Amino acid sequence: MRLSPHMAVMQGAAQKASRRLLRDFAEVEQLQVSIKGPGDFVSQADLRAETILREELSRARPGYAFLMEESGASGGDNWTWRWIVDPLDGTTNFLHGIPHWAISIGLQRKLQDGTIELAAAVVYNPAANEMFWAEKGVGAFLNERRLRVSGRRNMHEALFATGIPFAKVPSSSRLPFARVLGALMPQVAGIRRFGAAALDLAWVAAGRYDGYWEFGIKPWDCAAGLLLVREAGGYATDPDGNELHDVPDDVNVVAGNTNLHGPLRALVHEALNRS
């Protein structure tokens, strides 16, 4: 497929960073790992991938700002275009030799009236060679295949994904999660926790999951995935139903197909209100 200039840059950067990540993944036992916090690791592979992505994206678009997981925000507040980058989403999977991790790149655009929109997205899983990508108004794709969210209507047939709170997650998120899980489990075909938010959202876009929810995730975890779900015909909002174009910090996300997003969002909204 003929890619737009932005998408060609994003996919090229992801593929270049992935080559080094795959080499590191093959030697994961030799990686030196420093601890950022309980259950939240950063590896040399993570930092090297971020450096490659910054260099490639900056070379192609030198005036664009950045929001990156490891190095934070750069480029000032008066940006028109901004990259939101997670060089290695699913770091814990990576460090345990589990081939379920991804490079996530989102592109935001600030309009003249000050509003912000998600313009383009890439979520690339090098271990499976699956390139999920989307552009606003163009659609969502897996490699060269057009994506659509699932068409399931009944909760008892549905498969949902989530992120289970772990050590670094504040206790205020644990009770709402437990309430959603307890209400949802008796109604559905299954709930999965695979450990990479960007891929969870990409899999909703691909129809593999029927919905997804998670509390307190970062912009780089979800920016690209939110656009993928929307461009595949689904909904991706906060529990109040607000679309997350600006992608605030520590956001609560609910995504799903057109039939099941509403019931899932209602459960999440009630659980948060009760807490």
| Partners of 86 in the β-ladder | 104
Question: With contact defined as beta carbons under 8 Å apart, do 107 and 83 qualify?
Answer: yes
Lookup result for tokens 């959603």: 180
> Could you give the CA distance from residue 189 to residue 88 in angstroms, rounded to a whole number?
30
Fill in the DSSP letter of residue 28.
G
In sequence order, what DSSP letters do the residues of 153-211 get, joined into one string? --GGG-EEEE----TTS-HHHHHHHHHHHHHHGGGSSEEE--S-HHHHHHHHHTTSSSE
Question: What is the layout of strands, in order, in the sheet containing 159-162?
Answer: 190-192, 159-162, 211-217, 251-256, 235-237
Q: Which two tokens stand for residue 103?
A: 């490079």
| Cβ neighbours, 10 Å, residue 125 | 21
Question: With contact defined as beta carbons under 8 Å apart, do 122 and 227 qualify?
Answer: no
89 among annotated binding-site residues: yes
Residues 6+ apart with CB under 8 A from 114: none
86 among annotated binding-site residues: yes
3-state DSSP assignment of residue 52: helix
- Identify the helix (H) or strand (E) that includes residue 150: none
Q: Which two tokens stand for residue 165?
A: 């709170």
* Spatial CA neighbour of 196 closest among 224, 156, 238: 224
56 among annotated binding-site residues: no
Q: Which two tokens stand for residue 153?
A: 């209507």
Bind-site residues: 69, 86, 88-89, 221
Bind-site residues for Mg(2+): 69, 86, 88-89, 221
